[in-house]
Structure 1
């Protein structure tokens, strides 16, 4: 039976963010009816920024998730009369659950005592509760005799999505916190006291204090994103479902703070999924046989349950509601030296079932245990001792240093993850980030293992790969663990410094042999038009699901050279100098609009503010590629909600890891209930929806009129391609992502280097001032200025060298025997050209790791002698050869203009919380492009 089949649920603030996610999740759980409320209709029926009919709103998304009955209503919650009118309307609609989700965050140092925000945060929810709670309670009371579980039957849940600030607040948020305290107190009073003859105790009044939720104003102010100090909207949705999963006697009164618990842990696993996971565990045990896994440095820790076949544990997790509670986290605490083991099932907020055991090591992988005590911890500090019951053993195999698989004497399999810093939470993405590529079914894993070792043995003496220097890695996986992590670019950079003097070094990636190409001669041999080596599609195919819902490939990852040539040749005219010049006015408009928003923030902050400049740059570049490439205006420059800016960055981070570890995709498919898998699938669907929007816009062009006008814009070029809609869709997606995300991070890194090097900023200011482009009286920037600003161009060029956004570079596969620097390499060898290794190598550049724009003025080469700025073919921020970046001239125009306009209007410094250069370096991650994991935060001061 669907969990919510009897529930008529009203959600306020439903047009975006948490409210939108709530509607989707509650629809998935079978809600009888959803009533969605927001201030404006846009967002409810049409996605923000999308014209009518071209974008899904919350209502459409809920229907696509299974909702059969959805109503939308608009209401200004700051207007008491409008709220009362809404309450009167809802009172006659049989609402069984009210979710007060709408809210306004007041931050940024602004702490007013008056404003509409207090009405939205406190007064409107109170009015709705006063109007609806008595009717819910009366209906529940009438049916109490007929129903054992009143709330489960559906008459009486009021959920207020508040804020962690209603429990404890911080500086400059006093008035905002007061609004949250007020609502929290009102709810507690309503539940505990009841009122006006109505038995409100029959209702549930759970309150959520989720703190920083990714994408909200508070998260933006604190610089936190989902998974990086903030939680995701899906986490809040999971908490909202908790009251419905509990029995009628269990009232989860307050929940605050953290990421959603993973409540499935094996409960929702199908037979096929269970079989696949067990096969994978068996394969892992087979491949890890002989290793030692029981020493204290590995096994002693607090571990949290991810997945199990243990029937007793699963029964408790599933049936805790029978005892008026709900199961929480499941832990295992192991102390090898002390000979102690403790298994704990928690029942928040105070309960727990604890089993103590003595343990001893019985082999390299086996640990024996003897139960010594069992305790049921009850509320109010009470404890119920239970008799201990048995003994046994378990074998341990590690996926990595944070994930382990145990198989015990009863034949059960358990997957556990180590807790971070002892906190009572486990991040499922930790498991996904390190699973080795051999984690598949046992027969397949055994076959891959045998074939891989055989291939390595047969090829070991066939060419010169074994003569190359490089990191050894593990005997089975090679350097998979080092490469399959967010700072993969550092692996290439450090090893190029260490092994790159001869222009080549090598390593293994599982059974694949990889040769890293890092000198001018070898780079030319790999990327030149004459060789035209194919891409290594094992790396590039990771993005295929994003680009197309039906498996079509884009120019970026196609296996068909002819298809690549058709798309490349057909769209090349879009990037002509004439079209770049035509795009310049739109670029000025978008950049000026973003600068105006930032200037307004500065004005509100006394002349300065902190801003995440990667986001600012993405808002500029997204609007430019949208209008020039697709005839579609996202209006991102206005700083309204923008779905693509929310979903694309985490997707690109996932694809970076999938590129070297195909097992991540497998695990997402096997365990789709994991938070990462659910988030991934939702984000991909959002992107596919927007690709359809852009496709409609491109297909709407009048080709006859475009031909008559000589229109060679990207929109016209795409529309003219001899491709079906399903073939054209991935090309649109590829150009959109490449057209805004990469350029934006190049701009952000350039601004960072200006901010972090005051002498560079001073010199750049002098150049802008001499050109009349500095300060509030500056003249308008002109296209001709971009080439004339020589020092600005040197700054940009140096930033692209030191922080190439495509740091991991280009990856090819030898389809024939190849000779590089006197080394013969066999067909099938992967040839990797990591741009960051080449661009920052001491073997190629003088002062290789310094930010030194003057090198481009003085043309100082690798040995510090007058020469070109570097050897031929070692300055490759946009790659080289026939498959270089087709839009590089457009990207350079955008970066030059944005740099000139932003520095012209603001004095820059690095935000204090970013730390020093070493801290910023440590925060670098590859999300398909090089960026800071929590954004690039700078302090902006308006120029007087």
Structure 2
């Protein structure tokens, strides 16, 4: 080998060639990276998001949430518009305060907006969100909602439960009659009556605890309170471990365990009862409770999926919480507003007593003829929707709404409370005026987006008829049997929870007419 050939293949020359190749590759990668970044920036610059209030580092707009979020959202929307994007921790959150935008969501994009955020409390209390309210949108949701609408909450089923409403309201009336001329806590009486009605319809019995022990109602109310407790993991998913450190998750699991044991006992009792009935006389269809109906559907192979015990318990939890708390809350607000507006109270009582006449009881047919009473209920739900932000939704994919780009997995709140108090829609918006509904076709069934206390679209409340039947019947009896006087100044302050209730319970003095 000659020196020239050695020089041709010297290590230096080989290394230089290799370095040149590497440098060329790096230059190409660098150019491609810059071009990609430019494209991304260009693409990102075309994304138009809704107006947002200024946010703080890390926490975003959480500090602007307040203790009454529906009021905080309303105040912010006055400044930033009816379609507003907040950042609650790491969670993008869309707030809608316009009936037109709510209509567009329900009519044009309902499927995209039909999912639910999976909160920490919902996953614990509802067995991984196996209920109807929080289960993700899809075939499982369709099947479970169909069961509720067709089998549990149909108009026929609501009518079948009238005997329960009648018995529980009679007991309430007798208790009030025994306390006439005295001051009573009407709020507590309404909670007890509503809970008893729902408990008998859903579970088959009133489950009253022995003296000194904890009742199912007490545990259920504790669960309702904990359901809306602040969870760090809901706003900062990577910091969910903090909820263990603070003790929140152990508390939720402890309460959930109490409820689970109770539901398991109820289910086993029903299975034993149904086994005995099959060997003897079949149970009267009209008197079946929700547990028996669901178990029967599973046994008869009437479902397109397996209804596990966890599914059943989650649905029962849905029915109890949504059915009892919302009804008692609406009744409490209705009585409070009428006590503050004696002319309305007098007009409603005159109608109720005129329709019932001298009969010994108020029946369902009578209630159907009470047009002004229905206006009172509508006006109560307008001013005081039990769930002012409805149930939160979540986007399943990106969507264009009013020219804005809404990303997937965005939490969505429709502020029904703000919409129903909008002075551009409602005359004397902040006043209690049932007469506004006397010659109006507007109702609460989800087609008039200025009035949506039960929500709208696929995720609207399936228990509307069940709740309204109880509210109207109880209210008619209260107005028929007693005159009412407030025992105190009526404080209309609110407390935010699963429902928005009066902060100060309603203490009143009933008298015989």
Partner of 2:332: 748
SS in 1 for 2:60: coil
Contact 1:756/1:909 (8 A) holds in 2: no
1:682–1:858: structure 2 CA closer, same or farther, 3 Å change rule? same
Partner of 1:558: 135
Contact 2:194/2:327 (8 A) holds in 1: yes
Partner of 1:670: 245
Contact 1:507/1:513 (8 A) holds in 2: yes
Where structure 1 has 5 or more consecutive residues not aligned to the other structure, the ranges are 1-456, 862-866
SS in 1 for 2:326: helix
Contact 1:478/1:508 (8 A) holds in 2: yes
Cα deviation for residue 530 of structure 1 reads 6.2
SS in 2 for 1:557: coil
Show CA shifts across 1:315-340 (max 9, x none).
xxxxxxxxxxxxxxxxxxxxxxxxxx
Cα deviation for residue 859 of structure 1 reads 3.0
1:641–1:806: structure 2 CA closer, same or farther, 3 Å change rule? farther
Q: Could you tell me how far apart the structure 2 residues matched to 1:575 and 1:529 are?
A: 27
Q: Could you tell me how far apart the structure 1 residues matched to 2:254 and 2:62 are?
A: 28
Partner of 1:779: 360
Greater Cα shift, 679-688 or 803-812:
679-688
Asked whether 1:938 is paired with 2:496, we answer: no
Show CA shifts across 1:520-551 (max 9, x none).
33212323486323556445452222233xx4
Show CA shifts across 1:231-258 (max 9, x none).
xxxxxxxxxxxxxxxxxxxxxxxxxxxx
The one of 176, 192, 195 equivalent to 1:619 is 192
Contact 2:208/2:215 (8 A) holds in 1: no
Show CA shifts across 1:120-172 (max 9, x none).
xxxxxxxxxxxxxxxxxxxxxxxxxxxxxxxxxxxxxxxxxxxxxxxxxxxxx
Over the aligned positions, Cα root-mean-square deviation in angstroms equals 3.5
Cα deviation for residue 508 of structure 1 reads 1.7
Q: Could you tell me how far apart the structure 1 residues matched to 2:154 and 2:329 are?
A: 23
Contact 1:541/1:557 (8 A) holds in 2: no
Partner of 2:4: none
Q: How many residues align?
A: 458
1:627–1:869: structure 2 CA closer, same or farther, 3 Å change rule? closer
Cα deviation for residue 802 of structure 1 reads 0.7
* Structure 2 counterparts to residues 441-840 of structure 1, below 5 A: 461-465=45-49, 468-483=50-65, 485-500=66-81, 503-528=82-107, 531-533=110-112, 537-538=116-117, 540-548=119-127, 551=128, 553-559=130-136, 561-572=138-149, 573-602=151-180, 607-613=181-187, 615-634=188-207, 643-658=215-230, 662=234, 666-672=241-247, 682-700=254-272, 702=274, 709=285, 714-719=290-295, 720-721=297-298, 722-772=306-356, 779-840=360-421
Show CA shifts across 1:468-508 (max 9, x none).
3443342432221332x5422221233344444xx422222
1:596–1:794: structure 2 CA closer, same or farther, 3 Å change rule? same
Q: Could you tell me how far apart the structure 1 residues matched to 2:419 and 2:211 are?
A: 37
Cα deviation for residue 796 of structure 1 reads 0.6
Q: What is the TM-score with the length of structure 2 in the denominator?
A: 0.79
Asked whether 1:877 is paired with 2:453, we answer: yes
1:700–1:660: structure 2 CA closer, same or farther, 3 Å change rule? farther
Q: Could you tell me how far apart the structure 1 residues matched to 2:43 and 2:270 are?
A: 49
Cα deviation for residue 693 of structure 1 reads 2.7
Contact 1:631/1:697 (8 A) holds in 2: no
Q: Could you tell me how far apart the structure 1 residues matched to 2:373 and 2:231 are?
A: 35
- Structure number with the higher strand fraction is 1
SS in 2 for 1:941: strand
SS in 2 for 1:841: coil
Show CA shifts across 1:722-742 (max 9, x none).
312233221222212112112
Show CA shifts across 1:211-268 (max 9, x none).
xxxxxxxxxxxxxxxxxxxxxxxxxxxxxxxxxxxxxxxxxxxxxxxxxxxxxxxxxx
* Structure 2 counterparts to residues 22-421 of structure 1, below 5 A: none
Partner of 1:908: 484
SS in 1 for 2:86: strand
Show CA shifts across 1:806-839 (max 9, x none).
1121322222332223333233333321221222
SS in 2 for 1:831: strand
Show CA shifts across 1:552-607 (max 9, x none).
622222236222112111232222222211211210110121222222233xxxx1
- Structure number with the higher helix fraction is 2
SS in 1 for 2:438: helix
Greater Cα shift, 794-803 or 627-636:
627-636
Show CA shifts across 1:860-908 (max 9, x none).
99xxxxx999993221111111221111101000000111111222323
SS in 1 for 2:200: helix
Where structure 2 has 5 or more consecutive residues not aligned to the other structure, the ranges are 1-40, 299-305
SS in 1 for 2:183: strand
Contact 1:859/1:869 (8 A) holds in 2: no
Q: Could you tell me how far apart the structure 2 residues matched to 1:868 and 1:929 are?
A: 17
Cα deviation for residue 625 of structure 1 reads 2.0
Asked whether 1:891 is paired with 2:467, we answer: yes
1:541–1:933: structure 2 CA closer, same or farther, 3 Å change rule? same
Q: Could you tell me how far apart the structure 1 residues matched to 2:423 and 2:446 are?
A: 11
Cα deviation for residue 792 of structure 1 reads 0.6
Contact 1:908/1:938 (8 A) holds in 2: no
Contact 1:496/1:837 (8 A) holds in 2: no
Q: Could you tell me how far apart the structure 2 residues matched to 1:524 and 1:801 are?
A: 17
1:640–1:778: structure 2 CA closer, same or farther, 3 Å change rule? farther
Q: Could you tell me how far apart the structure 2 residues matched to 1:826 and 1:458 are?
A: 17
1:554–1:801: structure 2 CA closer, same or farther, 3 Å change rule? same
Partner of 2:21: none
1:645–1:932: structure 2 CA closer, same or farther, 3 Å change rule? farther
Contact 1:529/1:882 (8 A) holds in 2: no
Contact 1:462/1:826 (8 A) holds in 2: no
Q: Could you tell me how far apart the structure 1 residues matched to 2:222 and 2:201 are?
A: 25
1:871–1:520: structure 2 CA closer, same or farther, 3 Å change rule? farther
